[in-house]
Amino acid sequence: MSAERIAAAVLGSGSWGTTFAAVLADAGCEVRLWGRDAEVADQVNASRRNEKRLPGIDLPAGIRATTDAAEALAGAGLVVVAVPSQVAGETLTELRRAVAPDAVAVSLMKGVELSTDRRMSEVVAESLGLAPERVAVVSGPNLAREIAHRQPTATVVSCADDDVARYVARACSSSYFRPYTNRDVVGVELCGAVKNVIALAVGIAQGRGFGYNTTATVITRGLVEITRLGLALGADAETFPGLAGMGDLVATCSSPLSRNHTLGKHIGQGLSLDDAIAATGGTAEGVKSCRSVLELARKVGVDMPITAGVVAVLHEGMPVDEMARGLLSRPQKAEGVSAER
């Protein structure tokens, strides 16, 4: 990959897209940020702020925002995708002609596509017409607002092609953002998708007033669910105790900055799903992806009781207390990932 200054287009001007645009700019990239909200684009360009998504945060000077996707993508060697996962396919297909055939794409999205069970890197590759080895995934303990404040963190850049992974890592490496690389795209993406579901479960438990023992139990058993699903789909076992697995899971399940955790807490306090979404200020990724994750698990014969409980509470009307009773009354068994399920 060339050592020249990298021209990057970031698709999606939400909190994570805007934050990652700032990371890239701080790392020395020339960055164009695309979104549909003209007010956001004008504000980024005029005052280096995105008050709607990152209030109070000053953005670096190296970001140019636009509502014109062709303008954002023109000459971009790096295309970063940070749009809502369930509309990614439709959005990217519309932009396919504007993406250079030799571009590298990066998925920041965390989810599994409903009805197709495709991982987000697969959606990106197919929608943009890129070879899978030209698509990388960035995932880890990366809460947007903390990174926007330039608090130190690390992440994983995963790609089947080591050179592409290193190229993306170089593009986003800075004094506060440290990327590590690996090849386990399947494992990294599944960690990112399922941890949102587990964070909903932790939030639900805390909303009911349960304490740290319950939180630790849900996080630990949630990691078992993530690991079992990943191994069944060919992932590397080393991914799950790492940054993309346990690291991201702990951050998402512990922080009030996590929308999934916050929305789950509202559910645990007795709000309906619609009211919880309103109280959170919008939906959370796990609300939609929990059903596709469960569907995928059932296809490959992996039992995911916490995930199933979240689906039942959010989408099937199960009372929260019934979910708790159901999980605790399951047959006793050995603890490990490889134990009989």
Query: Looking at residue 282, what is its pLDDT?
Result: 83
Query: Looking at residue 340, what is its pLDDT?
Result: 54
| Whole-Å CA distances, 191 to 104, 149, 246, 285 | 22, 25, 8, 13
Query: Is 19:56 a contact under the CB 8 Å cutoff?
Result: no
pLDDT band at 3 (very low <50, low <70, confident <90, very high): low
Q: Rounded distance, CA 333 to CA 271, Å?
A: 34
Looking at the predicted structure, is the pLDDT value of residue 339 above 80? no
What percent of the chain has pLDDT above 70? 99
pLDDT band at 338 (very low <50, low <70, confident <90, very high): confident
Looking at the predicted structure, is the pLDDT value of residue 341 above 70? no
pTM of the entire predicted model: 0.94
For residue 295, give the H/E element and its range. Answer: helix 285-299
The pLDDT tens digits of the residues spanning 18-74 come to: 999 999 999 999 999 999 999 999 999 999 999 999 999 999 999 999 999 999 999
Query: Looking at residue 1, what is its pLDDT?
Result: 61
Query: Looking at residue 283, what is its pLDDT?
Result: 79
Q: Rounded distance, CA 230 to CA 338, Å?
A: 12
Query: Looking at residue 321, what is its pLDDT?
Result: 95
Which one has a higher pLDDT value, 85 or 28? Answer: 28
Region for residue 322 given its phi and psi (left: phi exceeds 0; alpha: psi -120 to 50; beta: otherwise)? alpha
What percent of the chain has pLDDT above 90? 92
b/e 260-285 (16+ beta carbons within 10 angstroms → b): bbbbbbbbbbebebeebbeebeebbb
Query: Looking at residue 110, what is its pLDDT?
Result: 92
Query: Looking at residue 336, what is its pLDDT?
Result: 86
For residue 32, give every residue at least 6 positions away whose Cβ sits within 8 Å of its Cβ, in sequence order, or none: 7, 8, 9, 10, 63, 64, 65, 66, 71, 72, 73, 76
Calculate mean pLDDT across residues 126-155: 98
Query: Looking at residue 13, what is its pLDDT?
Result: 97
Query: Looking at residue 299, what is its pLDDT?
Result: 95
pLDDT band at 249 (very low <50, low <70, confident <90, very high): very high
Calculate mean pLDDT across residues 287-293: 94
Query: Looking at residue 4, what is its pLDDT?
Result: 81
pLDDT band at 2 (very low <50, low <70, confident <90, very high): low
**Residue ranges of domains in the chain, CATH in brackets:** 7-183 (3.40.50.720), 186-328 (1.10.1040.10)
pLDDT band at 250 (very low <50, low <70, confident <90, very high): very high
Q: Which of 276, 160, 157, 150 is nearest to 207 (CA)?
A: 276
Catalytic residue set: 195
Q: Which of 32, 143, 148 is nearest to 98 (CA)?
A: 32
Burial class of residue 211, CB neighbours in 10 A (0-12, 13-18, 19+): exposed
Looking at the predicted structure, is the pLDDT value of residue 308 above 90? yes
Query: Looking at residue 87, what is its pLDDT?
Result: 92
The pLDDT tens digits of the residues spanning 153-177 come to: 999 999 999 999 999 999 999 999 9
Q: Rounded distance, CA 284 to CA 262, Å?
A: 9
Query: Looking at residue 177, what is its pLDDT?
Result: 98
Interstrand relation of 135-139 and 153-158 (parallel, antiparallel or unpaired): antiparallel
Looking at the predicted structure, is the pLDDT value of residue 265 above 90? yes
List the structure tokens of 244: 């993309």
DSSP 112: B
